[in-house]
Chain A
């Protein structure tokens, strides 16, 4: 089997530049940042022994498409490709998918969730009518008050006698069962060690006996936390109401609620839980998750025009923790779709704005950079004919020539004249366009399309303009408010992003802690089960007759 192979096999080191990744399909592949190549074949030094392609033999033709730019000119890669390609495709549950994995259904990347404990059977507790004793799949049990809709791992004291009766009745049944079934009885003592968590079916009544001995050896009374266990007011009026139907949904809700009580249970060494998927951590809101995913796309500078499949193939985002804030590939694609539409729209608008920019600005900027009295217009034109602004059809060549001559003649003026010209220009611009919040990088077109602005050398010009702007008043109300609103909008967006990133961190930490706690708990449970195992064996050694005689008084 593959897992066994994997655990003993040690992969040779990757060649420099290559990194290992997991494709959404679960395949390992390798990516080279520099060459932007990717491959299934582990890139190792040629001396290294050949390694099997990491893809499973069951990999389908479509899954292949998850690898971009397979370099099939490399015979090794090609062979690996073909060897998988030629495999029969037995993949039950494989999505029918036309072409293109992202198109329908897509990848099934997420591992199946761990089995979760759930109620299996229930029994009314005689004499305590609203109370029900619920047994779970993993053999745990809890008391449930169907009226108050509350449940307790720790059996309330006042229910204990009645439950003890139930347990005794069950032992009796069990003992009779042994009588009628020799095989079962003889097998019982040699039962293998403590049941594993992964074992799903504790159908066995054995486990129930574990619980019984649990009660009988007085472990519950021993732990000394009785006062802390239970809010007695919950129990006081519990008997006032009749029994209530206990539906599947109720049970599910109860188990979910029990997840929250779980900490206390654990501290006391009680309870047995399987909420390993981080349910205990406060979940991220869906909006936060979506926004985090979008932040990630923006941070990676993903081209919004790129197709989703190629994005996945390149694997840039799959290792980011924000990739998994959304649970399914379908959800991810949906958010990507939304993000890409908005981004494309933004880009469009930005370009429209740029297009509106006066073509003269680029031309004048070039004049400032390249024009010199040493060149006649014809020479200048020939020399720079490849420049965009020389080809721009929005300007006539005649105008370009006129501006060139004017610019050259201005070059011959003294600095003081140029400065006073610039001052005149600036003074002609209304306060709504030029004010103390303007900056040298955001000057209005009225300034930028005037040769007087371009005639001074950049450094002294910018200094001059800066000084002039500083002496201006604030912009008239309307435009100023707009600017302020924009500032507030960006500040708000920043704050929101900070919040959701914190939520993500919190969640990750909580998941870590939960994992840690699960491990500790598992260890504890194993130890406890071993102990109970011994108890059970002892109990089983009590002969059938002995047991029956023990119980005889109650029967009478």
Chain B
């Protein structure tokens, strides 16, 4: 979880932070809401989905600002990673071919799954048939994140 906004004691964030501060706050609030949401009446495996999703969205946001729009400085980008605003390991995957849209790291781990293969959401949609196309993965609720989807 990212820190609460830097206090006056801490070194201030690099230039450009104020441009994205408000949206980061929105993400933080969403995250708090998701974490505090009661999970009694939903399947246990689904309870974590919103958290994965918000974390993904926020990482994607920062990734696009830096790599696609060149809207933030390297300095600020590094600072955001260091302060856990984005998932550096996930972003590292996005830079690799075939993983451009990967939902989460769990979905490419082979050990935990029954079939010793990656998650169902990694199967390209074109290879799925009928109802299988509507499938959501168990780990993060992803509906499909193959690069060709």
- Chain A residues with a Cβ under 8 A of chain B: 61-62, 64-65, 68-73, 78, 81-83, 85-86, 89-92, 94-100, 103-104, 303-307, 309-310, 340-341, 344, 347
Q: Which residues of B contact A97 (CB under 8 A)?
A: 143-144, 149
Q: Which residues of B contact A69 (CB under 8 A)?
A: 26, 29-30, 33
Known: A78-B38, A305-B20, A310-B26. A72 touches B143 (CB 8 A): no
Q: Which residue of A lies closest to B59 (CB)?
A: A99
Interface check B117, CB cutoff 8 A? no
Which 9 A-B residue pairs are closest in the complex by CB-CB distance?
A96-B144, A99-B56, A98-B145, A96-B143, A72-B33, A344-B71, A305-B19, A307-B61, A72-B37
A307 and B23 form a contact (CB under 8 A): yes
A82 and B33 form a contact (CB under 8 A): no
Q: Which residue of B lies closest to A341 (CB)?
A: B69
Q: Which residues of B contact A73 (CB under 8 A)?
A: 33, 36
Known: A62-B143, A85-B42, A94-B143. A305 touches B71 (CB 8 A): yes
Interface check B57, CB cutoff 8 A? yes
Known: A69-B30, A70-B33, A309-B57. A82 touches B42 (CB 8 A): yes
Query: How far does the Cβ of B25 sit from chain A's closest Cβ, in whole Å?
Result: 10
A61 and B49 form a contact (CB under 8 A): yes
Interface check B142, CB cutoff 8 A? yes
Query: How far does the Cβ of A334 sit from chain B's closest Cβ, in whole Å?
Result: 13
Q: Which residues of B contact A96 (CB under 8 A)?
A: 121, 125, 133, 143-144, 149
Q: Which residues of A contact B101 (CB under 8 A)?
A: 98, 103-104
Q: Which residues of A contact B42 (CB under 8 A)?
A: 82, 85-86
Interface check B138, CB cutoff 8 A? no
A86 and B41 form a contact (CB under 8 A): yes
Known: A72-B33, A96-B125. A303 touches B19 (CB 8 A): yes
- Besides A69-B33, A98-B102, 17 other A-B contacts (C-beta < 8 A): A69-B29, A71-B33, A82-B38, A82-B41, A92-B134, A96-B149, A97-B144, A98-B144, A99-B52, A100-B53, A104-B101, A303-B19, A305-B19, A305-B20, A306-B22, A340-B69, A341-B69
Name B84-130 residues within 8 Å CB distance of A: 101-103, 121, 125
Alpha-carbon separation in the docked complex, A68 to B145 (Å): 23
Q: Which residues of A contact B41 (CB under 8 A)?
A: 82-83, 86
Alpha-carbon separation in the docked complex, A91 to B30 (Å): 25
Known: A72-B33, A99-B103. A94 touches B134 (CB 8 A): yes
Q: Which residues of B contact A71 (CB under 8 A)?
A: 33
Interface check B136, CB cutoff 8 A? yes
A310 and B23 form a contact (CB under 8 A): yes
A65 and B57 form a contact (CB under 8 A): yes
Alpha-carbon separation in the docked complex, A497 to B117 (Å): 56
Alpha-carbon separation in the docked complex, A78 to B37 (Å): 7
Known: A72-B37, A100-B60. A61 touches B145 (CB 8 A): no
Total A-B Cβ pairs within 8 A: 110
Alpha-carbon separation in the docked complex, A73 to B65 (Å): 31
Interface-centre pick from B22, B57, B141 (highest chain A CB count, 10 A): B57
Known: A69-B33, A89-B136. A98 touches B38 (CB 8 A): no
Q: Secondary structure of the A side of the interface? A: loop
Alpha-carbon separation in the docked complex, A91 to B60 (Å): 26
Write 12 A-B pairs (CB below 8 A) sorted by A numbering. A72-B34, A85-B42, A86-B41, A94-B134, A98-B144, A99-B52, A99-B140, A99-B145, A100-B57, A100-B60, A303-B19, A310-B26
Interface string of B49-92 (1 = CB under 8 A from A): 11011001100110011000101000000000000000000000
B23 and A98 form a contact (CB under 8 A): no
Interface size class of B (residues with CB under 8 A): 35 or more
Query: How far does the Cβ of B37 sit from chain A's closest Cβ, in whole Å?
Result: 5
Alpha-carbon separation in the docked complex, A65 to B103 (Å): 15
A82 and B26 form a contact (CB under 8 A): no
Q: Which residues of A contact B64 (CB under 8 A)?
A: 307
Residue of A61, A70, A89, A103 near B60 (CB, 8 A) is A103
Query: How far does the Cβ of A394 sit from chain B's closest Cβ, in whole Å?
Result: 14
Q: Which residues of B contact A340 (CB under 8 A)?
A: 69, 71
Alpha-carbon separation in the docked complex, A82 to B50 (Å): 12
Query: How far does the Cβ of A62 sit from chain B's closest Cβ, in whole Å?
Result: 7
Query: How far does the Cβ of B9 sit from chain A's closest Cβ, in whole Å?
Result: 15
Query: How far does the Cβ of A339 sit from chain B's closest Cβ, in whole Å?
Result: 11
B36 and A68 form a contact (CB under 8 A): no
Residue of B23, B34, B53, B143 near A306 (CB, 8 A) is B23
Residue of A85, A98, A344 near B143 (CB, 8 A) is A98
Query: How far does the Cβ of B42 sit from chain A's closest Cβ, in whole Å?
Result: 5
Q: Which residues of A contact B102 (CB under 8 A)?
A: 98
B149 and A104 form a contact (CB under 8 A): yes
Q: Which residues of B contact A304 (CB under 8 A)?
A: 71
B136 and A100 form a contact (CB under 8 A): no
Q: Which residues of A contact B52 (CB under 8 A)?
A: 99
Q: Which residue of B lies closest to A105 (CB)?
A: B149
Query: How far does the Cβ of A77 sit from chain B's closest Cβ, in whole Å?
Result: 9
Interface-centre pick from B41, B71, B103 (highest chain A CB count, 10 A): B71
Q: Which residues of A contact B144 (CB under 8 A)?
A: 96-98
Query: How far does the Cβ of B89 sit from chain A's closest Cβ, in whole Å?
Result: 16
Alpha-carbon separation in the docked complex, A62 to B50 (Å): 9
Interface string of B15-46 (1 = CB under 8 A from A): 00001101100100110011011100111001
Q: Which residues of A contact B29 (CB under 8 A)?
A: 69
Q: Which residues of B contact A307 (CB under 8 A)?
A: 23, 57, 60-61, 64
Query: How far does the Cβ of A41 sit from chain B's closest Cβ, in whole Å?
Result: 14
Alpha-carbon separation in the docked complex, A303 to B65 (Å): 13
Name B1-25 residues within 8 Å CB distance of A: 19-20, 22-23
Alpha-carbon separation in the docked complex, A90 to B135 (Å): 10
Q: Which residues of A contact B121 (CB under 8 A)?
A: 96, 98
Query: How far does the Cβ of B123 sit from chain A's closest Cβ, in whole Å?
Result: 10
Q: Which residues of B contact A341 (CB under 8 A)?
A: 69, 71
Query: How far does the Cβ of B125 sit from chain A's closest Cβ, in whole Å?
Result: 5
Residue of B23, B33, B57, B136 near A61 (CB, 8 A) is B136
Known: A100-B57, A303-B23. A72 touches B36 (CB 8 A): yes
Q: Which residues of B contact A98 (CB under 8 A)?
A: 56, 101-103, 121, 142-145, 149
Residue of B30, B136, B141 near A68 (CB, 8 A) is B30
Alpha-carbon separation in the docked complex, A71 to B37 (Å): 9
Residue of B33, B53, B65 near A99 (CB, 8 A) is B53
Query: How far does the Cβ of B100 sit from chain A's closest Cβ, in whole Å?
Result: 10
